[in-house]
Amino acid sequence: MRGTMMDFPLTLPTILERSGRIFPRVELVSRKPDKSIVRSCYGTFYRRARRLAAAMTKLGLQSGDRVASMMWNHIGHLEAFFGVPCAGGILHTLNLRLHPQEIAGIAKHAGDRFLLIDDVLLPVYEKFREDVSFERVIVVPYGFNSVPEGFLSYEELLTGVSAEFQYPAIDENDGASMCFTSGTTGCSKGVIYSHRALVLHSFCCGLVEVFGMSQSDTVLPVAPMFHANAWGIPFAATMLGARLVLPGPHVDPESILELMVSERVTIACGVPTVWIAILDALEKNPGRWKFDPPIRVVCGGTAPPVELIRRLDRFGLQIKHLWGMTETTPIGTSGGLRAYMSDWPDHKKYEVRAKQGWPAPFVEIRLMRPEGPGTVEGKKSCEVPWDGVTTGEIEIRGPWVAASYYESPDQAHRWTADGWFRTGDVATMDEDGYVKIVDRAKDLVKSGGEWISSVDLENALMGHPAVKEACVVGIPHPRWQERPLAAVVLKDGTQASPEELRAFLAESFARWQLPDAFVFLDAIPRTSVGKFKKIALREQFANWNWDS
């Protein structure tokens, strides 16, 4: 005996029990495919999640078995978030927006034994059912009231068991859930989150500089529950007793704005493209939706442009910036303004808010650069100073950072010999620990031996009054290796020429950094989680004629 504290495991059953006993009356709101609203509470959720755990155990679920889910953001999915891990299984949230063949490949790689699926998504399943071999497919009646023949009914399973359920022995380092990266820069890789990681991450979500989430909040995750567990919100909200509003498949700007007003949401989260579309709707419909007191909008996945932050402020939507990855559960850094900045001029405050913030507690970050010029793989690297100027690749470690990808030995090089994860993101850090992402290493435009940040260019472009969206990519160039091409979506009823946009950028960038080509599109292609799909643009314009 060391004579210190109890060895109390950090596992999800403790959060589930707590929600049922401490927050039974806190409401859970969820939207159905027909847009009607269903209201439940943590008390009911608690009993149903326990029943699901009992039902999965009765079906033969063994500790560590993967149970796939293909579901929208709704209460049934929340039940799965707890019911499966509390029975000792691992809930693998499948990204329903991927191509059916990709979904099948990921489910096979993960070795998923069972599938929980929304009835409305069965047509997607039909497209890949020949390529997978789930032992049982359990259909959740989300849009309709009946379950087609040949499938197990979720509701029948739940009524077929007793709510008296004994949790199996769970070690805090056992797997609880699993996500694959969204594949923005390459093929998807699997990450298994331990109970311990999810519990500690939930505490982190309560911090003011992160979500600042508590029982007095109403939280709307626009981010899908299959994208890094909707950024950990379902686990954190259940632990902290926050009221949840789950939007189902309706994530268009009007539906989200309407829900934010009618359900008096206090915290919402989503990638910048969601908020760009919402800003557009707000500006086109002055006075239609009002947010007073202001809403905390947690935004990450890519960098929100300063102009977006500034303009949303006017509507009472205050962006709080967060950087993270599927591999980091996902919170890595967050922040905003420090107390001593309160009397800084506005433009400096916005500059700070556009940074990615500082590392969350117990998350450690260092910026690394290969020694000597060039970026040769395997070369010895050294840490760069935190001076706000010198760039390096973010390496990260902490209790909710993945130690490996699931069965991907070819990816072992992403972890350093001394135990840090190589993120592939290039950033600067200043003396106060603020991180500023320059770009993903793969997205930096490599021009004549110099690097150009595509993020800085596109965010500056989105500050032009005529520009709704902008995405900058490096395109092969016979002389310079790559040169920047800017794809631009103009706001309805506005005009801007390439010359005008170049002149606008020239106010803040050196000549050699300016895009040499501008293309005007109706929409920028998106990834399955709503980020700009740079791979698609690079392919589309790969043979750009620089002489024209």
Q: Single out the segment in contact with ligand ADP by CB under 6 A; choices: 97-105, 122-130, 262-270, 298-306.
A: 298-306
Least distance (Å) from ligand ADP to the CB of residue 211?
14
Q: Do residues 351 and 306 touch, judged by C-beta distance below 8 A?
A: yes
Identify the H or E element spanning 52: helix 42-58
Q: Single out the segment in contact with ligand ADP by CB under 6 A; choices: 143-151, 262-270, 295-303, 379-387.
A: 295-303
Toward ligand ADP, which CB reaches closer, 120 or 444?
444
Please tell me whether the peptide bond between 330 and the residue prior to it is cis, using omega within 30 degrees of 0.
Answer: yes
**Residue 334 sits in the site that holds ligand ADP (CB under 6 A):** no
What is the spatial distance between Cα 226 and Cα 231, in angstroms, rounded to a whole number?
9
Helix (H/G/I), strand (E/B), else coil: 527: coil
Please select the residue that binds ligand ADP; options are 69, 182, 218, 266, rule is CB under 6 A. 182
What is the spatial distance between Cα 228 and Cα 325, in angstroms, rounded to a whole number?
8
Please select the residue that binds ligand ADP; options are 184, 229, 273, 381, rule is CB under 6 A. 184
DSSP E strand boundaries for 231-287:
243-246, 267-270
Q: Do residues 109 and 117 touch, judged by C-beta distance below 8 A?
A: no
**Residue 57 sits in the site that holds ligand ADP (CB under 6 A):** no
Catalytic status, residue 420: no
Interface pattern 507-536 for ligand ADP (x via CB under 6 A)? ----------------------x-x-----
What pairs with residue 483 in β-bridges?
Answer: 475
Following DSSP, what letter does each residue of 427-473 receive, concatenated?
EEE-TT--EEEEEETTTSEEETTEEE-HHHHHHHHTTSTTEEEEEEE
**Residue 303 sits in the site that holds ligand ADP (CB under 6 A):** yes
Least distance (Å) from ligand ADP to the CB of residue 98?
11
Least distance (Å) from ligand ADP to the CB of residue 527?
7
User: Which residues ranging from 185 to 204 are in contact with ligand ADP (CB under 6 A)?
Assistant: 185
Please select the residue that binds ligand ADP; options are 76, 234, 300, 335, rule is CB under 6 A. 300
Q: Do residues 494 and 486 touch, judged by C-beta distance below 8 A?
A: no
Token pair listed for 387: 């001076």
Toward ligand ADP, which CB reaches closer, 241 or 332?
332
What is the spatial distance between Cα 499 and Cα 502, in angstroms, rounded to a whole number?
5
Please select the residue that binds ligand ADP; options are 321, 464, 468, 483, rule is CB under 6 A. 321
What is the spatial distance between Cα 323 and Cα 394, in angstroms, rounded to a whole number?
12
What is the spatial distance between Cα 228 and Cα 223, in angstroms, rounded to a whole number?
9
Catalytic status, residue 416: no
**Residue 181 sits in the site that holds ligand ADP (CB under 6 A):** yes
Q: Single out the segment in contact with ligand ADP by CB under 6 A; choices: 111-119, 234-242, 301-309, 413-421.
A: 301-309
Contacting positions for ligand ADP (CB under 6 A): 181-185, 228, 300-303, 321-326, 356, 423, 425, 437, 440, 529, 531
Which residues form the catalytic set? Answer: 181, 327, 446, 451
